[in-house]
């Protein structure tokens, strides 16, 4: 009887607590007492929100600390990869490389929307299929077929330079966000989009694209006309798709989550998997190759009847075994572009959280009244670099271009004492990379040289290690470099947390 009375008492108190909270209103501001989402109290809106949804094709990579840098002997004697502990924020990564069919969808959209008046936009995005040509190899069938033949539909796209990969990521952001608004009946599908009249996430949020409105969102502001567009505060729109940073890519590729017990990493990995490049952890798969790579000179796939990796060139995305984050081909198949500008000392200079080199801080172009300037002829909001005057008084940055910070700019050059007075003014401002790196003369490094990571079908096993760093000019492409996209995780680093 006592226990029953005690239980009834707890239930009664819970009911009273709920009633009291209802009187105050669960949507009341805890700092002012004014009601949220009520036109009669001003209409300040606060939407229900649980956590960020996972965008199409992505996998959540829970962040944490890890040792970035070399995990094996440097057989090429580079000194650009000293181990250093850094912390990664949680983020999302494509489960596979971007495939030919994905990139063809991009090309199709560009041609459909810009093809009549701006055909150069489509031409600029075309992969270089001539990367397959070789002076002493018969690869012409790949030149003609690899990108477009349905047999290669799910093979990773190659011949794409760093700039094209970034353009694809921006396009993907807009298409995903447009579809999210269509799914929520905010917009209808508009198949007549052309030229500047196309959905661009930034232009839409700036009020410079309306589209075909389906069910306009009610505007609770009593001073409004009663409807509005979707806003960032609604939680409908996802952050940008983009290339992963070098640190993000390496962290995701290593997949140390399954090697960790109570913050203790029990086994460090050389590759994206435990052990070597053949399976030894399951009798059913003993000896099976776990990646597509070149085993030795003239051996790209083994002997007929017993092919080791089963692919002489790239093979379908999603082939072989995923790493512990569920990501496929983080070693082998194709190497992948990342966001960073290459510097040999980056691992020494990086911040120890969210490491990245390549920041060029920008702001939206505005008119004389301070409003965002009209979008350009392709429907995109215009940006410009911030000025030195705008950064004046700041301690966290002093200029727009920070690519050369600590490695390439004037203040970090080898020139000491009074010698700086002999340096022309043009080299004391801006990037001034030539103080340390003379591109094409003493170095192959400048501000347009980007990092790519991971081994490929054409590489020996050494390059399968996520720690290996290589670089290429951002306008160049090859038949062994592709890419995958990433996305920032906003809010809690852990899925399902409160």
pLDDT band per the 50, 70, 90 thresholds, residue 23: very low
User: What's the whole-model pTM score?
Assistant: 0.89
Segment 299-319 shows an average pLDDT of 91
Task: Give the three-state DSSP class for 47.
Answer: coil
Higher local confidence (pLDDT), 205 or 19: 205
CA distance 317 to 97: 6
22, 167, 384, 474 from 400: Cα distances, Å: 50, 21, 10, 20
Checking if the pLDDT of 346 tops 90, the result is: no
Checking if the pLDDT of 11 tops 50, the result is: no
Considering only CA atoms, which of 216, 212, 222, 209 is closest in space to residue 234?
A: 216
Least confident of 54-68, 184-198, 290-304: 290-304
CB 286 within 8 A of CB 280: yes
Strand duo 217-218 + 212-213: pairing: unpaired
The two structure tokens encoding residue 81:
């990869």
CB 79 within 8 A of CB 347: no
CA distance 146 to 132: 9
Least confident of 54-58, 303-307, 339-343: 303-307
Element (H, E) at 451: strand 449-453
Distance, first Cα to last Cα, the chain: 37
Q: Can you list the positions of beta strands (E) in 240-298?
A: 241-242, 260-261, 264-265
Checking if the pLDDT of 421 tops 80, the result is: no
CA distance 116 to 203: 22
Q: pLDDT, tens digit, for every residue of 362-402?
A: 999 999 999 999 999 999 999 999 999 999 999 999 889 99
CB 179 within 8 A of CB 189: no
The two structure tokens encoding residue 446:
């400048």
CA distance 341 to 61: 23
pLDDT at residue 287 in the model: 60
Q: Which of 20-24, 75-79, 391-395 has the highest mean pLDDT?
A: 391-395
pLDDT band per the 50, 70, 90 thresholds, residue 209: very high
Element (H, E) at 482: strand 481-482
CA distance 467 to 207: 44
Element (H, E) at 88: strand 84-88
45, 93, 219 from 222: Cα distances, Å: 12, 42, 8
Q: pLDDT, tens digit, for every residue of 46-76?
A: 999 999 999 999 999 999 999 998 887 766 6
Considering only CA atoms, which of 43, 37, 15 is closest in space to residue 25?
A: 37
CB pairs under 8 A, 24+ apart, for 202-206?
202/380, 202/381, 203/375, 203/379, 203/380, 203/381, 204/177, 204/229, 204/230, 205/229, 205/230, 205/231, 205/232, 205/237, 206/364, 206/372, 206/375, 206/381
- At residue 16, φ and ψ (nearest 5 deg) are -60, -40
Report the Cα 199 to chain-centroid distance in Å: 21
pLDDT at residue 456 in the model: 97
């Amino acid at each position: 009887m006592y226990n029953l009375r005690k239980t009834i008492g707890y239930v009664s108190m819970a009911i009273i607590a709920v009633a009291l909270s209802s009187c105050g209103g669960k949507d009341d501001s805890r700092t002012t007492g004014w009601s949220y989402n009520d036109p009669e109290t001003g209409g300040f809106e606060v939407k229900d929100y649980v956590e960020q949804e996972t965008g199409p094709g992505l996998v959540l990579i829970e962040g944490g600390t890890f040792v970035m840098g070399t995990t094996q002997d440097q057989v090429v004697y580079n000194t650009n990869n000293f181990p250093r502990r850094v912390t990664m924020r949680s983020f999302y990564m494509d489960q596979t490389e971007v495939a030919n069919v994905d990139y063809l969808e991009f090309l199709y959209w560009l041609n459909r929307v810009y093809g009549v008046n701006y055909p150069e936009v489509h031409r600029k995005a075309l992969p270089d299929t001539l990367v397959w040509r070789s002076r002493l190899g018969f690869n012409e069938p790949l030149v003609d077929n690899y990108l477009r033949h349905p047999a290669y539909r799910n093979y990773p796209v190659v011949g794409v330079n760093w700039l094209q990969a970034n353009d694809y990521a921006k396009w993907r952001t807009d298409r995903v966000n447009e579809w999210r608004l269509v799914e929520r009946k905010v917009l209808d599908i508009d198949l007549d989009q052309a030229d500047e009249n196309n959905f661009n996430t930034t232009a839409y949020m700036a009020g410079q694209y309306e589209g075909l409105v389906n069910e306009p969102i009610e505007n609770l502001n009593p001073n409004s006309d009663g409807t509005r567009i979707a806003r960032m505060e609604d939680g409908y729109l996802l952050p940008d798709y983009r290339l992963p940073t070098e640190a993000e890519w390496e962290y995701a590729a290593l997949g140390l989550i399954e090697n960790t017990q109570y913050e203790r990493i029990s086994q460090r990995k050389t590759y994206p998997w435990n052990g070597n490049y053949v399976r030894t952890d399951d009798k059913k798969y003993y000896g099976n190759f776990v990646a597509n790579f070149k085993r030795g000179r003239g051996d790209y796939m083994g002997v007929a009847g017993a092919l080791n990796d089963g692919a002489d060139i790239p093979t379908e995305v999603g082939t072989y075994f995923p790493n512990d984050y569920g990501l496929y081909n983080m070693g082998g198949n194709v190497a992948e572009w990342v966001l960073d500008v290459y510097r040999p000392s980056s691992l020494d200079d990086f911040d120890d959280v969210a490491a990245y080199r390549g920041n060029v801080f920008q702001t939206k172009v505005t008119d004389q009244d301070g409003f965002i300037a009209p979008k350009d002829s392709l429907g995109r909001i215009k940006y410009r670099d911030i000025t030195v005057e705008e950064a004046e008084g700041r301690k966290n940055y002093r200029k727009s271009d920070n690519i050369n910070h600590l490695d390439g700019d004037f203040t970090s050059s080898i020139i000491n004492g009074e010698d700086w007075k002999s340096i022309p003014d043009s080299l004391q401002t801006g990037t001034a990379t030539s103080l340390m790196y003379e591109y094409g003369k003493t170095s192959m490094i400048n501000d347009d040289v980007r990092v790519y990571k991971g081994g490929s079908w054409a590489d020996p096993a050494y390059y399968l290690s996520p720690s290996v760093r290589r670089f290429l000019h951002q306008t160049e492409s090859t038949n062994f470099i592709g890419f995958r996209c990433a996305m920032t995780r906003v809010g809690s680093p852990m899925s399902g947390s409160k």
